[in-house]
Chains A and B, each alone.
Chain A
Amino acid sequence: MTEIQVLSNSRRRTGSTFLRKHQLIIAPVAFITPAFAMFSLFVIYPIIQSIGLSFVEWQGIGPQTWVGLDNYRELLGDPVFWKALTNNVYWLVLFLLAPVLGLFIALFLNQNVFGIRLVKSLFFFPFVVSQIVVGLVFAWFYDPAFGLLATMLEPLGVKFPAILSNENWATFGIILAGLWPQTAYCMILYLTGLNSVNPEVIEAARLDGAKGWRLLVNIVLPQLRAATFIAVVVTIIGALRSFDLVAIMTGGGPYNSSNVLAYYMYDNAIFRYRMGYASAIATILFLIMDLYIAWFLMRLLKNEKGSR
């Protein structure tokens, strides 16, 4: 009797314990699966598909023709591609002014006086409005005939240059417009960061005679490292995928002088029906971002190891 009892008991256990035994594997997999399925379907699969498309010639519908590396070869000889890449570098470098400016505005606004909340929200305002609106507003500022700046400078006898229709200035005009909301965003990151700065440390530093620049660089900035990290990452990604402002302010013009990779890709796919060529540009942009992210993650890991 007892033997049978034990046997059935153990049998019951084996039946229900498969799940329990592998709980540590099954549970995470079960939870990750839906998200992973979605991510694969809507992110990873399109990336692979897009890379695949960069080896064909295709106008969006109809047959696809395999052309191997021809799209990439054409890219290397395409002056617009190089112009767009150069402009992306300008974007990258100049956009890094946003965290710096944001930090100083945050330091300036980080005080308790009457109405400071209103002032802070006014400074944050450009980030709230759509990029399209920012682009339109700046395009109107710049308008050399009817624009605000031109009209203001006219009585002074100064002729305002036509920024957006000048091949040398268009990109910088757009970057300036882009810096406005980006600075606001970095400012808000630093403002929240400044809230968590330990006042006792500041106090101690002051007692030791640190003030001004040295206080900022040696005491405050290290405590803002998290904010700086986020601000720089977001800014660089923002610079690489700059698209909306270019589209709305110049459309990449005049004659491609303000084009960037993201817009040139769109232009090829949507207006020239060259899906393969556009995919090749997308792949290059993807690689650039990958390189940056890999370098960044490696540095991050190194730093974390170092701090331990």
Chain B
Amino acid sequence: MRYLKTTVCAVALMLCSTSAFARDLVMNANTSDPAQKLAMEELIADFEAAYPEIDVKFNLYDHEAFKVAMRNFLVSDAPDLITWNAGNRMKVFVDLGLLEDVSDVWQAEGLHEAMPAVVSASSVEGKQYGVPYAYYAWGFYYRKDLFEQAGITSTPTTWEEFLEVGAKLNAAGITPITIGTKDLWPTAGWFDFLNMRINGGEFHAQLMDGKVAYTDERVKRVFEKWAELVSADFFVENHPGYSFQEALPFMNQGKSAMYLLAPFIVSMFPDDVREQVEWFPFPVIDPAVGIYEDAPTDSFHIPKNATNKEDARLFLAFAAQADVQTKTAATLDMLPPNINASVKDDRFAQGGFAQLGQANGIMQFYDRDTDPALAKVGMEGFQEFMQNPDRIDAILQRIEAERERIYGAL
């Protein structure tokens, strides 16, 4: 176990300050990707410049290690600030009484008006428990040159067009979609979008809350649509063998044309490939159903057991400012939740921003919206389905059994 990569944490990047009356503000963060790390370091440096008497102690963890560690440090040795995710993931800790109510910061800074898109994701029973610093849209990252090579002139906006694009790519010898499902979660993006496009946001939210059975006919319809793609050879072969990064070379080498993913992929493309990459939102399947999107939100929270809550509140207020959010989100290739902030001037950020702007509602993401144990069983099921579409009934029964164990019989 001690060898396991994901449990190894990158520890303690101390940022030194020479202030004579330093007030320590301890922050534990999971922002370990290069762009995230840079954004957080810049944010802290700017904060320390604005409040020279405060000294931020920044502890950086690997994403998975953080999930494990926070369950310890929130109880035993709480920092003053943490990074975490809004929505159900935050609610779990709010319900356990481990996160501080920061509604006063929202009031004082007028954040209800400034961040309308993330109010509900940051709230539990009308009170706010965190301040989001960035959120992002999911969508298709595709190679324009490969589309042209296959004779495709415009991006698909409907399901029929999408199937047609795939058929043309396959005919040109290009696998339409790359995906790496070793880490399971990339499959959940597909499920979320198909379900939201076919059954709408309200049904999706109910399913996430365990209020609908997975054996429901409406859920089965999602997999029927998905099976159309699987049987038409839309996805790269052997995807369970690849992590989400390991599936990227298919696109870099021109063997595959599209990837349904989030903006953190942008910085991973080699420069020459990135020039060819463009973005389009998930196509409409049923025009009668509104547009619902996945927009995972990352936020700052104050643990209930923190010692320096006063300065932590200063930090939350600082991080919510429009100009600060502009800078942070731009470094992250993500979107600033503050409406007065400006979105980075590139095609990915602008495209995602426009899509979320016209959405009827947003969700976080499958493994952020539903119970973690159910999410694991669900995503394993999605992976098995993508390899063996004929086993769908058995798979749905298994997921339903887990749903029933957690949320009770319907």
> Chain A interface (Cβ within 8 Å of chain B)?
60-62, 74, 79, 130-132, 139, 142-146, 162, 164-167, 243-244, 247-248, 250-251, 253-256, 266-268, 270-274
With contacts A247-B4, A253-B380, A255-B380 known, is A162 near B98, CB below 8 A?
no
The interface bits of chain B over 1-26 (1 if a CB of A lies within 8 angstroms of the residue's CB, else 0) are: 10111000000000000000000000
A165 near B380 (CB under 8 angstroms)? no
Instruction: Flag if B383 contacts A253 (CB, 8 Å).
Output: yes
Q: Is the CB of B182 within 8 A of A253?
A: yes
Contacts of B182 in A (CB 8 A): 250-251, 253
List B residues 231-250 near A (Cβ within 8 Å).
Answer: 236-242, 249-250
B237 and A162: CB pair below 8 A? yes
Contact of B383 among A74, A254, A267, A268 (CB under 8 A): A254
From 205 to 243 in chain B, residues with beta carbon under 8 angstroms from any chain A beta carbon are 236-242
Question: Which of B67-75, B80-88, B319-327, B357-365 sits within the interface?
Answer: B67-75
| A164 contacts B241, C-beta separation under 8 Å | yes
- Inter-chain contacts of B250 with A (CB < 8 A): 145
Whether a CB of chain A sits under 8 angstroms from the CB of B77 is no
- Does the CB pair A144–B237 fall under 8 Å? yes
- Report the bound CA distance from A139 to B240 in whole Å: 12
Q: Chain B residues near A274: list those with CB within 8 A.
A: 373
Q: Are A254 and B5 in contact (CB under 8 A)?
A: no
Chain B hits for A132, CB < 8 A = 3-5
Provide the bound-state CA to CA distance between A250 and B238, in Å: 12
A145 touches which of B98, B238, B380 (Cβ 8 Å): B238
Closest chain A residue to B184, Cβ basis: A253
Known: A142-B241, A162-B241. 20 other contacts (CB 8 A): A61-B74, A74-B405, A145-B250, A165-B239, A165-B387, A243-B1, A244-B1, A244-B3, A244-B4, A250-B182, A253-B383, A254-B383, A254-B387, A255-B240, A255-B380, A255-B381, A268-B373, A270-B64, A270-B67, A272-B372
Pairwise interchain contact B383-A131, C-beta atoms closer than 8 A? no
Q: Within 8 Å CB of B1, what residues of A?
A: 243-244, 266
Contact partners of A268 in chain B: CB under 8 A: 373
| B376 contacts the other chain (CB 8 A) | yes
Decide yes or no whether B410 CB sits under 8 A from chain A. Answer: no
Option from B183, B381, B387 in Cβ contact (under 8 Å) with A251: B183
Please indicate the chain A residues that have their CB under 8 angstroms from the CB of B184 in the complex. Answer: 253
A64 to B384, CA, bound (A): 33
Bound form: Cα–Cα A273–B67 in Å: 10
Query: Does B288 lie at the interface of the complex (its beta carbon under 8 Å from any beta carbon of A)?
Result: no
Q: Which A residues lie within 8 Å of B74 (CB)?
A: 61
The answer for the CA separation of A145 and B398 in the assembled complex, in Å, is 32
Judging by beta carbons under 8 Å apart, are A254 and B240 in contact? Answer: yes
Q: Find the B residue at minimum CB distance from A251.
A: B182
Q: Does B238 contact A60, Cβ atoms closer than 8 Å?
A: no
List chain B residues, Cβ under 8 A from A250. 182, 240
A180 nearest CB across to chain B (Å): 16
Are A271 and B376 in contact, with the CB atoms below 8 A?
A: yes
B96 interfacial contact with A, CB 8 Å? yes
A251 to B185, CA, bound (A): 13
Rounded to whole Å, the gap between the CB of B127 and the closest CB of chain A is: 19
Is A253's CB under 8 angstroms from B3's CB? Answer: no
Min CB gap B8→A, angstroms: 10
Known: A60-B71, A244-B4, A250-B182. Contact between A272 and B376, CB under 8 A?
yes
| Contact A270 B68, beta carbon cutoff 8 Å | yes
CB pair B373 A272 closer than 8 Å: yes
Docked complex: B155-182 residues within 8 A CB-CB of A: 181-182
Bound-state CA distance A244–B3 (Å) is 7
Please name the residue on chain B nearest to A140 by beta carbon. B246
Of the listed residues A130, A165, A250, A256, the one surrounded by the most CB atoms of chain B closer than 10 A to its CB is: A165
With A244-B4, A251-B183, A253-B184 given, is the CB distance from A61 to B241 under 8 Å?
no
Q: What's the Cα separation between A238 and B163 when bound, in Å?
A: 49
**17 intermolecular pairs with C-beta atoms under 8 Å apart:** A61-B74, A61-B96, A132-B5, A145-B237, A162-B238, A244-B3, A250-B182, A250-B240, A253-B182, A253-B383, A254-B384, A255-B240, A255-B381, A255-B384, A268-B373, A270-B67, A272-B376
What residue of chain A has the Cβ atom nearest to residue B98's Cβ? A61
- Cβ contact of B75, chosen from A61, A131, A164, A270, cutoff 8 A: A61
> Closest B-chain residue to A250, C-beta based?
B182
- Residues in chain B near residue A266, CB distance under 8 A: 1
Asked if B3 and A165 sit within 8 Å, CB to CB, the answer is: no
**B3 / chain A contacts, CB cutoff of 8 Å:** 130-132, 244
Q: In the complex, which residues of chain B have a beta carbon less than 8 angstroms from the beta carbon of A247? A: 4
List B contacts of A267 (CB < 8 A).
376
Chain B 385-403: CB-based contact to A (< 8 A → 1; otherwise 0): 0010000000000100000
CA distance A270 to B238 in the complex (A): 26
The reply to whether A165 and B241 contact each other, CB–CB distance below 8 Å, is: yes
Return the chain B residue nearest A143 by Cβ.
B241
Q: List B residues 61-115 near A (Cβ within 8 Å).
A: 64, 67-68, 71, 74-75, 96, 98
Cross-chain contact of B372 among A61, A143, A162, A273 (Cβ < 8 A): A273
Residues of B within 8 A of A244 (CB): 1, 3-4
Which residues in B have their C-beta under 8 angstroms from that of A164? 240-241
Q: Are B75 and A253 in contact (CB under 8 A)?
A: no
Given contacts A253-B380, A254-B384, contact A144 B241 (CB under 8 A): yes
Shortest distance between the CB of A165 and any CB in chain B (Å): 4
Q: Are A273 and B383 in contact (CB under 8 A)?
A: no
Q: How far is the CB of A49 from chain B (nearest CB, A)?
A: 16
Contacts of B241 in A (CB 8 A): 139, 142-144, 162, 164-165, 254
Q: Which residue of A is nearest B395, CB measured? A: A255
Give bound CA distance, A243 to B2, whole Å: 10
**Whole-angstrom distance between the Cβ of A69 and the nearest chain B Cβ:** 16
Measured CB to CB, the nearest residue on chain B to A254 is: B240
